[in-house]
Chains A and B, each alone.
Chain A
Amino acid sequence: MKKLIFMTAIPIGIISSCFAGEPHWAMNISAGTNIVGVTLNELDNIRAYRSTDEYLYDWDPKIATSVYLSFTPEYYITPKFSLSTGLRITNTLSKYESNYSYFYYKYKEDGCDTYYSRIKSIDQSNFYVGIPLEFRFTIRGTDRPSPYIRAGAVLNFRCSSSTKTNLYRNDIDYTPDTDNIIPTADNFAMPVYCAAGCQIGHQKSFGVEIQFPYTVAIGSMSSFGDTNNFGGGIQITYQFAKNKSEE
């Protein structure tokens, strides 16, 4: 009986405390960076350098790195629960390279003539405009460092891409055309993540959080492979125009 009362009272107490206080708005400006692993796809125009039993494409583990800036109004339903959405601009960088000095890339075929280029790496940058949607639960809302946990997703729409090919030999007077052969990243991608952070400073205006796990659940943010591996990130936030009531 005591156990039943104990197990019932605690969740009721937590839930009821969450609804104390009045709803209010805040505005966030955030900057952050994420890293996620890339599972490379086979590209038709890249020559293999190892036999099947030596792992065909035994590249080093590859990552895609994103940096972003967000502008997100946040609505505190209660001092502990809040929703935010807004605008995020993201730039994602990924690289295709071998763990040798170069790889062979077939860039042209002309009758019986075939042309390879020795390439050190191919760098790609994808620019996205996205709509984040986040839920935050503030663990302690009193006027001291306030830890919180957050879950979110971003609907990212690719606006532009650029590719740079780094040749092995700099004295070659040509640039192989990789744009038509390297596939473009998906036009739509949706990263999802969980985060744990802390709001600090006067009126808890500053926030620092660690995002983990971070993964791209839908689509890929790299042309070179899938970005649905687990990664992480870090974000700093400045929150202003607060008019909250303290708990």
Chain B
Amino acid sequence: MKKLIICMVAAGLFAACEKSDSIDNSIWIADPDDSGLPKYTEWGYNTFGAQMGTSYFSSCWRDTPFTMEWHDNDSTLELTMNGCQTYKGRYEWLIKEDMSLTIIIPCDSVIDSFKKLYLLNGKFFDLTNPDIKVLVRRDNNPQEIVSDIRSGNFYFKRVQMLYVDENFEKVIVSGTFDIRYVRDGEKTWLSDGRFDLGVTQNLFW
């Protein structure tokens, strides 16, 4: 009898719990034209992806796949996208290796807070600019500076200050990118790249 009562109380407590939809989760909405990429969105779904030859560089369903950092000494903004290289197996997507892409861009304005990211709205950066640094890290290897960039761009298509129930919540940064470079004599590219990130205080250093 006691066990039955305990079970009923536990069931009631579980039933009374509210299920909340966290706005910080990573939500992967597949691109209808290419399921290896996330659809371009501006909802702060915390996803990114780009074609990389026959495989893909993507956020791999991680809830916090990026960080941003402001460097006071040289007024640069560093965006690191942490993901993995994936490829389509016979029945499912397979991970080849961890991979991260870091872009360090000089900014005319001081962006020392995530609340100032709106200054990037509509900004387009040519990655062949020598003042812009691109770094790639694969698996546990050290970061490599990409030195021979043949073409590339990083576009902050839209930056939104998000308010939920009239309270400021986060900054949504969405855009596109692509880069073509040569590494150890091998031509490599990240094309048709897109990102949709929700930046909070914790993710901005």
Contacts and interface: CB of A to CB of B under 8 A. Distances in A.
Chain B binds chain A: yes
Contact of A48 (B27, B118, B163, B172): B27
Given A48-B43, A114-B160, A103 B165 contact: no
B46 to A, nearest CB: 11
Contacts of B20: 100-102
Contacts of A6: none
B27 A51 contact: yes
A112 interface: yes
A222 B45 CA distance: 29
B98 to A, nearest CB: 20
Nearest to B39: A52
B128 interface: no
A113 B164 contact: no
The main secondary structure of chain A at its interface with chain B is loop
A49 interface: yes
Contact of B162 (A56, A103, A114, A167): A114
A218 B27 CA distance: 35
B130 to A, nearest CB: 30
Interface stretch (A32-40, A64-72, A115-123, A129-137): A115-123
A99 B19 contact: yes
Nearest to B162: A114
A116 B27 contact: no
Nearest to B117: A112
Interface string A88-132: 000000000011111110000100111111100000000000000
Interface of B: 18-21, 23, 25-30, 35, 43, 45, 61, 118, 121, 159-166, 169, 172
Given A109-B160, A115-B162, 5 more contacts: A51-B26, A52-B28, A112-B121, A116-B164, A168-B165
Q: Across the A-B interface, give the 4 residue pairs with the lowest CB-CB distance, nearest first.
A: A51-B28, A52-B30, A101-B18, A114-B160
